[in-house]
Amino acid sequence: MTLGELPTGGLYIDLGLGIIVFLLLLYEIAAQARTRKRLTALEKNIVTLQNNQAEVFTNLEDKANAVTEMLFEKTKPLASKVNELSKRANTMIERSEAFRQELEDKVGPLQAAIDNSNVKFNSSHDAIRKVVQEGKSEIERMAKEVEGFAEEIKEMKNFIRESTIDLEL
C-alpha cells in the first residue's frame, strides 16, 4: 500500500488524537512537576517547622531550668530564716514550759516574779510587734504564738490566784 492509497480522513483524525494525547501527556508531566515542587516546598516547610519546634522546646526547657534555679536560689535564704525562727520558737517554748513548771512548784512566793515576767514579756512582745511592723511575715506567725503564750501566762496567773485563794481557805 502506498501513501496515495491510505485513507486521508482517518489519518488526520488519528494525527489530531495523537496530538491531543501528546498534549495531555505534556500537561500531566507539567502538573506532576508542579506537584513535586509543592511537595518539596511543603517538605522544606515541615523540616523548618520541626527545627523551630525543637528550638522552642529547647528554649522552654532552658527557661524552665533557669526559673527553677532562680526559685531555688531565692528560697534558700528564706529557708534559713524559717529554720532560725523555728529554733527561736522552740527555745521560747522550752523556756515557757520551764517557767510554767516553776510556777506550778512555787505558787506563793512567785506571784511577784510572775508580774515581773509579765512586764518583761510585754516589753519583748512590743519589740516583736515592731519587727512585725517592719514587714516580716514570718515573725507575724511568731507574734501570734507569743500572744497565745501571754494568754497562757494570764490563765496561769489566774490559776495561781485561785490556787492561792484555795490555799488561804
pLDDT in tens, 42-73: 999 999 999 999 999 999 999 999 888 888 88
Nearest of 141, 157, 33, 38 to residue 104 by alpha carbon: 157
Q: How confident is the model at residue 136 (pLDDT cuts 50, 70, 90)?
A: low
Residue 14 belongs to a domain: no
The answer to whether residue 18 sits within a structural domain is no
What average pLDDT does this structure show over 104-124?
Answer: 72
Check whether 126 has a pLDDT greater than 50: yes
Q: Rounded mean pLDDT of 16-33?
A: 95
| Residue 11 domain-assigned (yes or no) | no
114, part of any domain = yes
**What average pLDDT does this structure show over 90-97?**
89
Least confident of 6-10, 95-99, 112-116, 152-156: 6-10
| 163, 107 Cβ separation under 8 angstroms | yes
* Domain count along the chain: 1
Q: What is the pLDDT of residue 47?
A: 95
User: What is the reported pLDDT for 149?
Assistant: 86
User: d(Cα 79, Cα 82) in Å, to the nearest integer?
Assistant: 5
Q: How far apart are alpha carbons 41 and 161 in whole angstroms?
A: 94
Domain that holds residue 125: 30-168
Q: How confident is the model at residue 108 (pLDDT cuts 50, 70, 90)?
A: low
Choose among 132, 133, 154: nearest CA to 143.
132
Quickly count: other Cβ atoms within 10 Å of residue 102's Cβ. Answer: 13
Report the C-alpha gap between 160 and 111 in whole angstroms. 8
